[in-house]
Copies of this chain bind each other. A is one copy, B any other.
Amino acid sequence: MDYKKAELEQLKEFYRDRLLEDTLPFWFPKSLDQEYGGYLLMRDRDGSLVDDDKAVWIQGRFSWLLSTLYNTVEQKEEWLAGAKSGVDFLEKYCFDTDGRMFFHTTRDGRPIRKRRYFSSEVFAIVAFAAYSKASGEKKYADLASEVFGRCLNYIQHPEILPAKFTDTRPLKGFSIPMIFIFVAQQLREYTGDIRCNEWIDRWIQEIERDFVKDDIRSVMEQVKPDGSISDHFDGRLLNPGHAIEAAWFILHEARYRNNDPHLIDLGCRMLDYMWERGWDKEHGGILYFRDVYDKPVQEYWQDMKFWWPHNETIIATLLAYTLTGDEKYADWHRLVHDYAYQHFPDKEYGEWFGYLHRDGRVSVPLKGNMFKGPFHLPRQEWYCWQLLENF
């Protein structure tokens, strides 16, 4: 059933109010680390700090969010100062001497762990890019472009990084083209880096060519280098929330390119396939993992409901609806929005729980840890609000 104009207006206000009156106040300003810079984000359900370590990628994410609010919502000085605290911490403590970034530091910035992956870099780039716009300081645009260039080099020369697997049966992951579409979109928006359009085209083409399987209606998470399916646990594993997140990055690109019909079609196909595979018809919500051939998944938490796939699916369905007018997407948006806002919010202390069992019971009440922080939920509320503002 189509959304009526008044309903969309209500939705817009709902997302705005949740963001500004519930989600953001849970984290800000109390998470600002006045002593060392950056943010103290590993918090229990009531907001009390359970660990003062810092996950570098989440430092970048929150700094990006604060700059983005400053750039798009209101030029609040406290948001700008908050964003600066994050970029300062990243710049001062989070780079190793080889130019790569750490993943996990102590509160005062001493490195605990550096990973093989470059997820810290991903969110440092968007934090620097958004802050360059917010502050007007070109230095941060340059820094964002420099780290982006390093990442392009890792992508083109993966042998630079330590290998997790041998060359016996190589697989390539969906994560890289997926997340770098978002990175390049942000970098383009705030710095105008001229490499972005070409790379976005390449990553979208790679996803369409190698990861989207129309014959079996699926988006793969890992494939062989030639795009074929590896019939082992790892090759069969699907992550519906991840694929749906990529779907809306592509739909966002379609919108940026004057509603490019091919990109709308691609994003909607990805959403369709992974809604079919991910939506839990029994309990509602998006399942975490599936097997492409419906075999059992090795990861035992596979049927849990994590917060973030719901944020990504709320965005993707709303964006698909605004781009196509297909009432199927309005129906799906209602389903996932209602499920999420009925099950995840902590009515007592605000924000969302992150980890529910399949039937909706809370598994761990943490609001923040090495993997959850102020990102997917506030980004969703901000994006949907802004989308409906301009619809």
Residues on A close to B: CB < 8 A? 42, 44-45, 50-51, 53, 106, 110-114, 162, 164-166, 168-169, 232-233, 295-304, 306, 354-355, 357-358, 363-366, 369-371
- A169–B300 contact, CB under 8 A? no
- Kindly list the 7 A-B residue pairs having the minimum CB-CB distance in the complex, ordered from nearest: A300-B355, A301-B301, A110-B168, A298-B369, A296-B366, A111-B166, A51-B232
A302 CB contact (under 8 Å) in B110, B296, B363:
B363
The answer, among B113, B162, B300, for a CB contact under 8 Å with A354, is: B300
Chain B residues, Cβ within 8 Å of A42: 233
- The smallest beta-carbon distance between A64 and chain B, in angstroms, is 23
Question: Interface majority SS on A: helix, strand, loop or mixed?
Answer: loop
Bound Cα distance A355, B42 (Å): 28
> A365 near B296 (CB under 8 angstroms)?
yes
Query: Which of B162, B300, B364, B366 interacts with A364 by CB under 8 Å?
Result: B300
Task: List B contacts of A303 (CB < 8 A).
Answer: 363
Separation of A66 and B47 alpha carbons in the complex (Å): 53
State the Cβ distance, A58 to closest chain B Cβ, in Å: 13
CA distance A364 to B303 in the complex (A): 9
**CB closest residue in chain B, given A162:** B162
Question: For residue A300, which residues in chain B have a CB less than 8 angstroms away from its CB?
Answer: 301, 304, 306, 354-355, 363-364
CA distance A363 to B297 in the complex (A): 10
Taking a contact as CB atoms closer than 8 A, the residue among B111, B232, B366 that contacts A168 in the complex is B111
Give Cα distance in the complex from A94 to B251, angstroms.
47
**B residues less than 8 Å from A106 (CB atoms):** 168-169
Q: Which residues of B contact A111 (CB under 8 A)?
A: 166, 168
Residue numbers in B under 8 Å from A298 (CB-CB): 364, 366, 369-371
Chain B nearest CB from A93 CB (Å) reads: 11
- Whether A295 lies near B50 (C-beta < 8 A) is yes
Contact A296 B44 (CB under 8 A): yes
> Which of chain B's residues have a CB closer than 8 A to the CB of A358?
357
